[in-house]
Chains A and B, each alone.
Chain A
Amino acid sequence: MASTKHSVNDEDLERIIGQLLRFGVLLSSLVVLAGGIVYLIRHGHEEPGFGSFKGEPDKMKDPLLMWKAIIHGEGRPLIALGLLLLILTPIARVLFSVAGYLMEKDYLYVCITLFVLAVILWNF
């Protein structure tokens, strides 16, 4: 069914996706760890307050405000940035697959992958 050239492309795609996932998890873990250290130094002596749900301020959601707060030396927005990078990792994997299937000229899977991507991004 699959020609040799086709399967070589599939293997390349698999290798690159594997590296992408590994890199994303490693990078986000380091950012979360850095933010965690700053957070614990600044707020480690305070009382935790997760008992009732209060939602999160905008600087934990909006990348621009997040960045401003990070420059200001805050730890929690830096953790939030790390978590955002982590969540973007599988999304980048899907985006990369679109390019991969385009190169393989597998248009059915280009459509399927674009649909998955649209569902994810629709809610961001």
Chain B
Amino acid sequence: MTILVFSGLIFVGALTAGLLGSLTGLGGGVVLIPLLTLLFKVDIHYAIGASLVSVVATSSGAAAAYVRDGISNIRLGMFLEVATTVGAVAGASLATYLSTGVIAIVFGVVLILSAVLSFFKNRDNLVTGPGSRLTQLLKLAGNYPTPKGRQDYTVKNVVGGFLVMNVAGVLSGLLGIGSGALKVLAMDNIMRAPFKVSTTTSNFMIGVTAAASAGIYLKKGYIDPGLSMPVMLGVLAGAFAGSRILTRARVSQLKKVFAVVIGLLAIEMIYNGIHHTI
């Protein structure tokens, strides 16, 4: 296989990953890394580097629209980025010490958890009132557009959310994924922010979190331009197409199929990790 054919196949694979990731809300990275390592036999360090690059691209691209519409809570995002960036740096440093087998096993476990989390029903939270003293100090309350006009809300459990965000950051840095599922969990289930605010603010944060580990990845040579090129362009094109058809597509069925696929990929990753064949 020549580089031309290889790049073309990677582009098609990345496009599919970006499309599915955007339709199901799980992100492109979760299916991209198994695809690159299991099917294309790419070293997991290069796969993580290319995935991280695509995560920055899709996050920034999507966040542009949400921020403009005033759905994301920028202060909430900025405050929680303290937790995710510190975590990301720790995770990226850890990635340079761990063997490919161990990374593959951790990846598999996180993949299964993400698939399970995607089945949890999203509560549409609405916490109103003055909020705690910490919430007030950090000005975390906000409002977001609804069909009935802008709705005010506030958040709870700031410390708990902060700690889960820290873990999300470590996983993002270690595995080159956005850890969107965990970020949404922290804001939606723990801090009780409205779901729409959680998902868009999570998306807004992913790019900055990834940029924090990207410095380390660049220095260690994880980001190969030849591999990252078709991956980035493919995932970006797929995510863009996904956002266009998202309003019309029925995603609940797709989500189930995707979760099963992810589960199988996870088992394969763990198996290869244990047998040192990755």
Contact = CB atoms under 8 A, between A and B. Distances in A.
Interface of A: 1, 10-11, 13-15, 17-19, 21-22, 24-25, 28-29, 32-33, 35-36, 39-40, 43-48, 50-56, 60-61, 76-77, 79-80, 83-84, 86-91, 93-94, 97, 106, 108-109, 112-113, 115-116, 119-124
23 contacts: A11-B70, A18-B63, A21-B60, A21-B67, A22-B64, A28-B57, A29-B233, A48-B3, A50-B46, A53-B45, A54-B221, A55-B221, A86-B60, A87-B210, A93-B207, A93-B208, A109-B78, A109-B139, A116-B82, A120-B208, A120-B212, A121-B215, A123-B213
Contact of B233 (A33, A89, A121): A33
Contact of B3 (A18, A45, A115): A45
B112 interface: no
Contact of B68 (A15, A32, A77): A15
B57 A116 contact: no
B208 A112 contact: no
Contact of A40 (B3, B207, B227): B3
Given A53-B43, A87-B56, A115 B82 contact: yes
A29 B85 contact: no
B212 A123 contact: yes
Contact of B70 (A14, A52, A60): A14
B224 interface: yes
A27 to B, nearest CB: 11
Where chain A touches its partner, the secondary structure class is helix
A112 B3 contact: no
A22 to B, nearest CB: 4
A54 to B, nearest CB: 8
B79 interface: yes
B232 A45 contact: no
B154 to A, nearest CB: 10
Contact of A51 (B41, B210, B218, B219): B41
B206 to A, nearest CB: 9
Interface in B1-60: 1-4, 6-7, 40-43, 45-46, 53, 56-57, 59-60
B204 to A, nearest CB: 9
Contacts of A53: 43, 45-46, 100
Interface residues of B, number: 64
A39 B211 contact: no
A35 B233 CA distance: 12
A54 B49 CA distance: 13
B2 A90 contact: no
Given A14-B67, A120-B212, 5 more contacts: A11-B70, A22-B61, A46-B3, A86-B232, A93-B60
A108 B53 contact: no
A109 B75 CA distance: 8
A61 B70 CA distance: 36
B78 A116 contact: yes
Contacts of B127: none
Nearest to A100: B74
Given A51-B41, A60-B225, A83 B46 contact: no
A109 B229 CA distance: 36
Contacts of B236: 25, 29
B226 A39 contact: yes
A30 B13 CA distance: 20
